[in-house]
Chain A
Amino acid sequence: MAARSERSPPPFPDSEEPELLEDSDDGADAFTGTSISQMDSPKDIFSEPPEDISSDPLSNINSDLQKKVDATIPSPSSDEADLFSEPLDDDSEVMSSPEVQNPLPDLLNEPVKAPKSGVLGEPPVHKSSSVKKAASAEMFGDDDDEEDLFKEPPKVLTKKPQPSGPAVDVFTEVKVKPQVKDDPTDLFTEEDLTAPVPKPSASSSSSSRTNGVHSEEQDLFSEATVELSLDSPRNDRKKDAVKPSVSAPAAPEASSSSRAPSKTLEELEEEESEDKFDLNISVTNPEKVGDGMNAYMAYKVSTQTSLTMFRSKTFTVRRRFSDFLGLFEKLSEKHSQNGYIVPPAPEKSILGMTKVKVGKEDPSSAEFVERRRAALERYLQRVVSHPSLLQDPDVREFLEKEELPRAVSTQTLSGAGFLKMLNKATDAVSKMTIKMNEQDVWFDEKIQDVENEEQHLRKLHVMVESLVNHRKELSGNTALFAKSVAMLGSSEDNTALSRALSQLAEVEDRIEQLQQEQASNDFFTFSELLADYIRLLGAVRGCFDQRMKAWQRWQDAENMLQKKREAEAKLLWANKPDKLQQAKDEIAEWEAKVTQYEREFERISATVRKEVIRFDKEKARDFKRQIIKYLESVLHSQQQMIKYWEAFLPEAKAIA
């Protein structure tokens, strides 16, 4: 699937360029209406557009397209793969179209997101099954259905055959704008539509360049370029003309629309999640499976829910630790680059696990297992409490599916290792980003906050650790004291005093139990909580880094554009018209890229912002919950203490 999805995106890019050019010409107006109507279903979009296209002005194009399609369809695997291998990187990043950005924040529904993301630029990046499926369905359709083939062809056609592309591009763009603006209700469909469109534009720009100048791209599109070469002069000019108009307006719209709606949506989402969230996950019954070094612990993951997305209300699966790590890796691969905070899975502990494997029933390994069990439970609860992650098919599969394919990569790369890598990358990036002058004060402050907070939490964690250790020490000492009091009582002559002393020894024994409980309470409520949040903050920083990377990309593109413009100016000065065209192509391409990257940056910024806000809220709620839990435990042990003393007091008074 992944391979397909990767391939699929490129097609759009190609088509986009042509579209843009075409839009300016005729097609845009014609298709706006039609496309919208068809927009209803994401899948349909693809299929429909082609038809429309063919029926409408595009007829010329269609013929070409179809031919090309025919040609392309058989070849997709081979050609596309080659073609897009390089472009993919660019495209995928570029892909975030202005329109796309809007939809993403708005997209509360996961299904919508997945397809979009897949379609837009993500497919190449994401291997998620959902994305893949969506993408595959949309883009390549099934080999079985001829219709699908046709549906695909539009894209394919647009992509590969740039000459034909123009028509396609026109459609996409046209559709996008009208839909977004016109129908609020159709947002999802529109988004889907729009998604494809943006890509096209980005890709188109690149492709256009390739046609004209770029050597790399030329190779990729070798076939296309041959044909294009004829058209290119026209296209390029058109692009130049078109792009400014198209891209410029689009961006503002995107940003404005994305911001305003995104907030309201967030709120809606929040409320929704709070009202409807009904999902209890517990991890229980750790069980050792196998012997020796191949042994592993299996945990029972029970889910209880009324959410309709699950097949039943309660279900139970058995999972081993590496399955959890595998889940984390899948999720972080898919979502962290979009600015989502993916909760980190518990760290792998070779020492602890080896003990469990080798050791018999010794208390430290029992403690280790219990600690891990609790950590896994918290991990899953964090994952499902994230509205977007909950919708991820991998999560559902993890909770529901009887047998999971064995997660292999995790054996070497545990959550911790992954985070470390992430952090390293983070540091490298952050050095780079010293250059980044943050225009958004909110982010500026937040990044600072997160760093401070991490330090504070680390400090707190140390404190709590020592607290817990002292508690353990206290319970140990109390036990010793109880013993010595018992001794004292037994060597005491006075019966009443002796009795009182042995009672006292019992009291102290119970107090010791209380202290032990309290120590583990402290540990689980605070120490583990803080450790979790320290790692979560790492994930938050990862998000900021993703945003930073997006920004970097945008700035690089901006610089590149600047250079290209200077080159053009030089050419003008030197009066070399032959190269001028090429320079203009490049400028157009980079302008599109800049727009693309900027939108992507805005999209990521919006996501990160939303995520961080959500994270903060969640954090406050979590801590509050823990405090209440802690107070309850402290209160309980205090009440026990009262009972013990009240029982002992008459004994003391009875000493004659």
Chain B
Amino acid sequence: MEGSSAEAALSVSANSIRITDVTQDGDVLTFAIASQKLNSSAGVCVFRMYEDFDWLQQSLFSEENLPGLQGIIFPPLPSKALPSQSNTQTKALKQLGFLALGQDWQSYCKALEFYLQQVAAHPTLCKCKALDSFLINSESPGKQRGRKGIFNRLSQAVEEMRKESHKDVDNFFQNERNKNTNLAASSKVATEKLLDVVMTEQKLAVACGHFATSLHLCVNQDDAAAVAFSKVCLKLSDVIEAVKRNYEKVASNNLSTLGLGLDLESRYQESEKEMLFRRTCKLIELETVKKGTEKAKANKREVMEAFQKAVEKEFNLISSVAKQEIERFHSSRVKVLKTFLIGWCELQLNTAKEFAELYSQHLEACRNMYSE
């Protein structure tokens, strides 16, 4: 392996990571991932499947020599896309939301790309060997699958209900947890609503397309009046076509900017929630240990106290990492949301201007069409 020097930072630049291509073979999507070496101008390109991404995520979860690992907000990996045609659109939508939209998995690739960039830009995670090998090694690293991460989401879900409401000792975390619950819920709702809007816009575009096409049926060149009417119909068809493109554009603007942004936001909130939950679990563990130590008999007390100290140390470490992470997360998510919002607004503004111009041209043409 190239970057075998254990503690060496990532050998490629985080910002250069791109998913340049995606190919679909049956149910399997293969992504081409290109990145730029830090110390040279050479580019690296590898092909990865979703399983490789999953392997990377699990490796990050189970990274051993990282203190306070559990306090880290892991960049969220989108869930697996099932591209088989038999899978209905609605099912994919339910599972992936915005990421199922867009042509040729463009938004899904964007999300994966963003995931990789976030991992690579993370001050702790970027040192992970798994990431380096994922980005650079031409062979697929994800052979040793079976290795389930310590944070199994399924088992988590069961305990969640019980531990979620556990009162925190630290006000900061208590607040953060409350806010996170709110934000996670509302960002999820917002994402869903925006998704509905986009879907409707797409439907509207399709309906416009049908309308525009049907208008061509009315064309008839028999006599003067019919020709005049046909002209009107064709004009209308053009106009409706323009409306259709307008909606397509608006929908894709929504999708490519705010849609992805909200989706990312909501997944990140989930990720933060998981981190907070892990911390809460540790807290509960610590409290049980404390209780045990108090009750313990003298001969065992020493062992218990040592154990308690270890847990406490771990918990404090997690808390401090978590604090940093939360701070980092807040500033970065605001930045990310800002970029998406600005990009969205600009795109929509341009689209609106472009089509206003187009409509006024059409209007002019219509007025001069024939005055008889």
Pick out which of these stretches binds chain A: B6-14, B49-57, B119-127, B355-363. Answer: B355-363
- Evaluate contact between A491 and B337: CB separation under 8 angstroms: no
Residues of B near A471 (CB, < 8 A) are: 204
- Evaluate contact between B193 and A477: CB separation under 8 angstroms: yes
* Bound Cα distance A653, B342 (Å): 6
CB < 8 Å: which of A460, A487, A619, A648 contacts B215?
A: A460
- Evaluate contact between B200 and A474: CB separation under 8 angstroms: yes
- Evaluate contact between A463 and B210: CB separation under 8 angstroms: yes
- Evaluate contact between B214 and A646: CB separation under 8 angstroms: no
- Evaluate contact between B345 and A648: CB separation under 8 angstroms: yes
Interface residues of A in 604-656 (CB under 8 A from B): 613, 616-617, 619-620, 623-624, 627-628, 630-632, 634-635, 638-639, 641-642, 645-646, 648-649, 652-653, 655-656
Interface residues of B in 164-179 (CB under 8 A from A): 179
Residues of A near B186 (CB, < 8 A) are: 484, 487-488, 491
Closest chain B CB from A444 CB (angstroms): 11
Q: Is B48 an interface residue (CB 8 A)?
A: no
Q: Is A264 an interface residue (CB 8 A)?
A: no
* Bound Cα distance A492, B182 (Å): 9
CB < 8 Å: which of A613, A628, A634, A639 contacts B225?
A: A613
Q: Is A272 an interface residue (CB 8 A)?
A: no
Given the known interface contacts A474-B200, A634-B243, the answer about A620 and B210 at a Cβ–Cβ threshold of 8 Å is no
Q: Is B128 an interface residue (CB 8 A)?
A: no
How many pairs, one residue from A and one from B, have CB atoms within 8 Å of each other in the complex?
165
Q: Is B82 an interface residue (CB 8 A)?
A: no
CB < 8 Å: which of A445, A493, A627, A632 contacts B235?
A: A627
Residues of A near B220 (CB, < 8 A) are: 449, 452-453
Q: Is A368 an interface residue (CB 8 A)?
A: no
CB < 8 Å: which of B210, B229, B337 contacts A497?
A: B337
Q: Is A467 an interface residue (CB 8 A)?
A: yes
Q: Is A485 an interface residue (CB 8 A)?
A: yes
Given the known interface contacts A464-B211, A635-B356, A645-B348, the answer about A481 and B193 at a Cβ–Cβ threshold of 8 Å is yes
* Bound Cα distance A466, B204 (Å): 9
- Evaluate contact between B214 and A456: CB separation under 8 angstroms: yes
Residues of B near A492 (CB, < 8 A) are: 183
CB < 8 Å: which of B214, B226, B363 contacts A631?
A: B363
Closest chain A CB from B138 CB (angstroms): 41
Fill in one digit per residue for A217-260: 1 if any B CB lies within 8 Å of its CB, else 0.
00000000000000000000000000000000000000000000
* Bound Cα distance A642, B243 (Å): 16
* Bound Cα distance A496, B204 (Å): 34
- Evaluate contact between A493 and B330: CB separation under 8 angstroms: yes
Closest chain A CB from B223 CB (angstroms): 8
- Evaluate contact between B229 and A463: CB separation under 8 angstroms: no
* Bound Cα distance A445, B226 (Å): 12
Q: Is B42 an interface residue (CB 8 A)?
A: no
- Evaluate contact between B341 and A504: CB separation under 8 angstroms: yes
Given the known interface contacts A623-B229, A635-B360, the answer about A470 and B203 at a Cβ–Cβ threshold of 8 Å is yes
- Evaluate contact between B193 and A480: CB separation under 8 angstroms: yes
In this complex, what residue of A is CB-closest to B225? A616
Given the known interface contacts A477-B200, A617-B228, A623-B236, the answer about A459 and B190 at a Cβ–Cβ threshold of 8 Å is no
Residues of B near A504 (CB, < 8 A) are: 341
Q: Is B208 an interface residue (CB 8 A)?
A: yes
- Evaluate contact between A474 and B193: CB separation under 8 angstroms: no
Closest chain B CB from A540 CB (angstroms): 13
Q: Is B232 an interface residue (CB 8 A)?
A: yes
Q: Is B28 an interface residue (CB 8 A)?
A: no
In this complex, what residue of B is CB-closest to A460? B214
* Bound Cα distance A272, B123 (Å): 84
Closest chain A CB from B97 CB (angstroms): 14
Given the known interface contacts A481-B197, A631-B366, the answer about A620 and B229 at a Cβ–Cβ threshold of 8 Å is yes
* Bound Cα distance A655, B348 (Å): 18
- Evaluate contact between A474 and B190: CB separation under 8 angstroms: no
Q: Is B291 an interface residue (CB 8 A)?
A: no
Q: Is A536 an interface residue (CB 8 A)?
A: no
* Bound Cα distance A500, B334 (Å): 11
- Evaluate contact between A627 and B337: CB separation under 8 angstroms: no
* Bound Cα distance A500, B207 (Å): 33
* Bound Cα distance A635, B355 (Å): 8
Q: Is B281 an interface residue (CB 8 A)?
A: no
Residues of A near B182 (CB, < 8 A) are: 491
In this complex, what residue of A is CB-closest to B335? A655
Interface centre among A457, A488, A645 (most CB of B within 10 A): A488
* Bound Cα distance A477, B199 (Å): 10
- Evaluate contact between A638 and B345: CB separation under 8 angstroms: no
CB < 8 Å: which of A470, A494, A496, A635 contacts B200?
A: A470
In this complex, what residue of B is CB-closest to A492? B183
In this complex, what residue of B is CB-closest to A468? B207
Q: Is A183 an interface residue (CB 8 A)?
A: no
Residues of A near B183 (CB, < 8 A) are: 488, 491-492
Closest chain A CB from B242 CB (angstroms): 9
In this complex, what residue of A is CB-closest to B201? A474
Q: Is B99 an interface residue (CB 8 A)?
A: no
Residues of A near B222 (CB, < 8 A) are: 445, 449
CB < 8 Å: which of A452, A460, A642 contacts B349?
A: A642
Residues of A near B208 (CB, < 8 A) are: 467
Given the known interface contacts A484-B189, A652-B342, the answer about A616 and B349 at a Cβ–Cβ threshold of 8 Å is no
Interface residues of B in 322-349 (CB under 8 A from A): 330, 334, 337-338, 341-342, 344-346, 348-349
Q: Is B217 an interface residue (CB 8 A)?
A: yes
Closest chain B CB from A421 CB (angstroms): 28
In this complex, what residue of A is CB-closest to B240? A467
In this complex, what residue of B is CB-closest to A654? B338
In this complex, what residue of A is CB-closest to B230? A620
* Bound Cα distance A483, B192 (Å): 12
* Bound Cα distance A452, B214 (Å): 13
In this complex, what residue of B is CB-closest to A490? B186
Q: Is B38 an interface residue (CB 8 A)?
A: no
Closest chain B CB from A467 CB (angstroms): 5
Q: Is B148 an interface residue (CB 8 A)?
A: no
- Evaluate contact between A481 and B196: CB separation under 8 angstroms: yes
- Evaluate contact between B352 and A641: CB separation under 8 angstroms: yes
Given the known interface contacts A484-B186, A497-B337, A639-B356, the answer about A449 and B226 at a Cβ–Cβ threshold of 8 Å is yes
* Bound Cα distance A619, B215 (Å): 15
CB < 8 Å: which of B190, B239, B334, B346 contacts A485?
A: B190
- Evaluate contact between A497 and B196: CB separation under 8 angstroms: no
* Bound Cα distance A467, B206 (Å): 9
Q: Is A552 an interface residue (CB 8 A)?
A: no
* Bound Cα distance A628, B369 (Å): 10
Q: Is A478 an interface residue (CB 8 A)?
A: yes
Interface centre among A453, A494, A497, A631 (most CB of B within 10 A): A631
CB < 8 Å: which of B226, B338, B342 contacts A616?
A: B226
Q: Is A26 an interface residue (CB 8 A)?
A: no
Closest chain A CB from B23 CB (angstroms): 34
* Bound Cα distance A156, B104 (Å): 88
Q: Is A402 an interface residue (CB 8 A)?
A: no
Interface residues of B in 102-154 (CB under 8 A from A): none
In this complex, what residue of A is CB-closest to B348? A645
In this complex, what residue of B is CB-closest to A479? B193
Given the known interface contacts A488-B187, A627-B366, the answer about A474 and B359 at a Cβ–Cβ threshold of 8 Å is no
Given the known interface contacts A463-B207, A463-B214, A488-B190, the answer about A655 and B341 at a Cβ–Cβ threshold of 8 Å is yes
- Evaluate contact between B363 and A652: CB separation under 8 angstroms: no
* Bound Cα distance A470, B190 (Å): 20
Given the known interface contacts A620-B229, A627-B232, A634-B359, the answer about A484 and B193 at a Cβ–Cβ threshold of 8 Å is yes
Residues of B near A487 (CB, < 8 A) are: 186, 189-190
6 tightest A-B CB contacts, nearest first: A616-B225, A481-B193, A645-B349, A491-B182, A638-B356, A655-B338
Known: A463-B211, A474-B200, A642-B349; 16 extra A-B contacts, CB below 8 A, are: A456-B217, A466-B207, A467-B211, A470-B200, A470-B203, A484-B189, A484-B193, A491-B182, A497-B334, A619-B229, A620-B225, A623-B232, A628-B366, A631-B363, A652-B338, A655-B337
Would you list 11 pairs from A and B whose C-beta atoms are within 8 A, ordered by A residue? Answer: A449-B220, A456-B214, A480-B193, A487-B190, A500-B341, A616-B229, A620-B225, A623-B236, A627-B239, A628-B363, A635-B360
